Structure 1
Amino acid sequence: MRRFLAPVVGLALICGFMPALSSGAAQAAAGPCIGAPAADGTTYAETRHFIDAQAWWMPDSDQADNSTTNHGHVHMGACIPERETISSGNLTVHVRVILHDNPGKANYVSMVFKTSDTETIVQKCYLRATATNFTCPGPSSTGKGDFVCTGTCERWLTFSQPISSFNHSGLQEVRFRGFVPEPGGKEMRTNLNWQVNIQNGASVSNISRDPFLRGKGWYTHTLYCEASLRTVPIPDSPVSGIWTPVVDSTTRPDGSLPATHSFISIDPDFHAVPSEPGTVLWNAEPFGSAPIAIDTRTLTNGVHKLHLRTSCRDDTLGSTNSGVTVIPFTVAN
């Protein structure tokens, strides 16, 4: 039976209403990317949002905290034209990768075009210690990336591929996958899946499997843990009054370990010292899939961030894999 979320600073769970997923494209408008870090000051031809997908490998409070069970975070964020229409030229996306207290040596990020009948890696950009930001470096002499970090470090990559690389027109999916080998032969991955309306003259065949925004953490043995926004598209225009997106905290039916905890918050900052949890809406057992009403009148006007985190506890390896999706939205009351 669905749990009810207690009101927290004017925010409450609304049950019994699940808006249908829209297959249409968002209304395009040129301008800067909503929620973008200062480093990406690009003016885009269509509305974009900076979506941050994260993978965490960190112990629960009752699990031992040591160099094996705590590998920190890897972030992979990008200004994406979610459900916007692209009808010519290249699909170009700047991707930011952040390592936070992560002892791994980051390898590469791949861009994948997923259609109704194909899945193709169209570009790989390697994470290099000395590479220039906003480029697409090749591998080091070892054939891999070599980006390591003490504390918090970031790199920017630029992906650009012609839309003719999609073998269909219509609603297509783009996936970014980041790979970070960890000590002891384990691996952490972060994944960002999103959709875009491609008009390239090819036959129309809309993607239909999980056609919504998804951020996934992946770790050896645990496999996937996913946090998603099922209401599409992300609002291009400011929201006011009550905004009711459908969020989902789950795992994949592919042998991945089950979700064991959900955390939902507005404007947290886990890199602050001490960390700032933001306005916490849910911090308990798995939330599942349901609409959540956000009373934007309790928020200041401007850009805010909805943080969705799903955790999948791994008792075999003694730690917890988490997948995070962070979605910006603008308030104007």
Structure 2
Amino acid sequence: MRRFLALAAAAALACMAMTGLTSSPARAAAGPCLGAPAADGTVYGETRQFVDTQAWWMPDADQANNSITNNGHVHLGACIPERETISSGNLTVNVRVILHDNPGRADYVSMVFMTATSEIVVQKCYLRAAAPDFSCPGPAGSGAGDFTCAGTCERWLTFSAPISRFNHSGLQEIHLRAFVPEPDGNEMRASLNWQTDIRNGKSPSDTSRYTFLRGKGWYTHAGYCEASVRSVPLPDAPVSGVWTPAVGLTTHPNGSLPTTHSFISIDPDFHAVPANPGLVLWDSAGAYGPQRFGAAPIAIDTRVLANGVHKLHLRTSCRDDKLGSTNAGVTVVPFTVAN
């Protein structure tokens, strides 16, 4: 079943969506991070949004629900300077990790600087049960993290690396990756990928591979399942009327399992009891956008929303019949409505 708002604009914008670039919305002044949880009250030197990516390993309705097929999910969220300019000092990112009904022992989060030919792990912060928030702990005596949770628990990490660590100036790509080994020997990972304009005095070389915001869930055997925002940059200034960002809810083009379901909504709360799906814009079998890394516009009539901050939830599901469950990747981005 499909439910959506004002999708008549989709055909006219489809060609623009496929490029991965749309016209840039107005940029706002630096300050607090848009949509940030209360724990992160940092005033940043450039505009930032709190973007949350999630990896889910949960069975479909017709798959058995047991300790092997249901490992809940892991959130990996951060106030990111998406498409902003940083010209001095360090790239500093506060990262929130949430385990929700996840029996795994969370290991670590890495920050990776990407180029066209290489990736550099510039920092690893381990997830430790007793470490203070907003630190970057080393491993436990076992050589790994030791963060476990019954129910819902969160930890905050702080990454900071000088921008001289980037090999070039210009549009550079940053990845955050969270690793959670599960009791059955498999592993769940959540990844958040974005681009920042780095001015470090080195030779210019803009990244050109997948230059848009991506949130990915990864699970052993299933590979990546991805939800992306192709309209870049994210809107710093308020939106009004019918806002039509281009998004892609499709599988990763690297041999990962195909997308079997796609879901888009505004302001859901799946931790509520009962779960609140929010204002559902799309809920359908298959991908949103052409399979294997496609994209399409989604029309959001902001006039039916209250003025203020809202969250756009994108979820891509990739069923794994071999392991008897479903891998999902989620991306959640904030936006402000002002009609």
Q: Which TM-score applies when normalising by structure 1?
A: 0.96
1:314 to 312, 320, 329: 320
SS of 1:250's equivalent in the other structure is: strand
Asked if the contact 1:23/1:171 (under 8 Å) is kept, the reply is no
SS of 1:94's equivalent in the other structure is: strand
SS of 1:228's equivalent in the other structure is: strand
* Cα separation, partners in 2 of 1:327 and 1:89, compared to 1, 3 Å: same
Alignment-mate amino acid for residue 309 of structure 2: V
* CA distance in 1 between partners of 2:131 and 2:156 (Å): 9
Q: Which runs of 5+ in 2 are unaligned?
A: 290-294
* CA distance in 1 between partners of 2:118 and 2:4 (Å): 44
Bigger mean CA deviation after superposition, 251-260 or 235-244: 251-260
* CA distance in 1 between partners of 2:261 and 2:149 (Å): 29
* Cα separation, partners in 2 of 1:87 and 1:25, compared to 1, 3 Å: farther
Alignment-mate amino acid for residue 299 of structure 2: A
**Alpha-carbon distance, 1:257 to partner:** 0.7
* CA distance in 2 between partners of 1:330 and 1:215 (Å): 21
* Cα separation, partners in 2 of 1:266 and 1:13, compared to 1, 3 Å: farther
- Offset from partner CA, 1:98-145 (integer Å, 9 cap, x none): 000000000000000012332100000000000000000000000000
Q: Please show how residues 231-250 of structure 1 align to structure 2 within 5 Å.
A: 231-250=231-250
**Alpha-carbon distance, 1:14 to partner:** 1.6
Alignment-mate amino acid for residue 91 of structure 1: L
Identity %: 71
Alignment-mate amino acid for residue 212 of structure 1: F
Q: Please show how residues 80-159 of structure 1 align to structure 2 within 5 Å.
A: 80-159=80-159
* CA distance in 2 between partners of 1:215 and 1:107 (Å): 19
Q: Which runs of 5+ in 1 are unaligned?
A: none
Q: Please show how residues 1-333 of structure 1 align to structure 2 within 5 Å.
A: 6-8=3-5, 14-17=10-13, 18-19=15-16, 20=19, 21=21, 27=27, 29-285=29-285, 286-288=287-289, 289-333=295-339
Asked if the contact 1:25/1:85 (under 8 Å) is kept, the reply is no
**Alpha-carbon distance, 1:228 to partner:** 0.2
* CA distance in 2 between partners of 1:169 and 1:262 (Å): 36
Alignment-mate amino acid for residue 292 of structure 1: I
* CA distance in 1 between partners of 2:96 and 2:267 (Å): 19
Q: Which TM-score applies when normalising by structure 2?
A: 0.94
Q: CA RMSD in A?
A: 1.7
SS of 2:11's equivalent in the other structure is: coil
* Cα separation, partners in 2 of 1:67 and 1:137, compared to 1, 3 Å: same
**Alpha-carbon distance, 1:13 to partner:** 5.9
* CA distance in 1 between partners of 2:3 and 2:141 (Å): 55
**Alpha-carbon distance, 1:296 to partner:** 0.6
SS of 2:105's equivalent in the other structure is: coil
- Offset from partner CA, 1:283-321 (integer Å, 9 cap, x none): 112212200111111100000000000000000000000
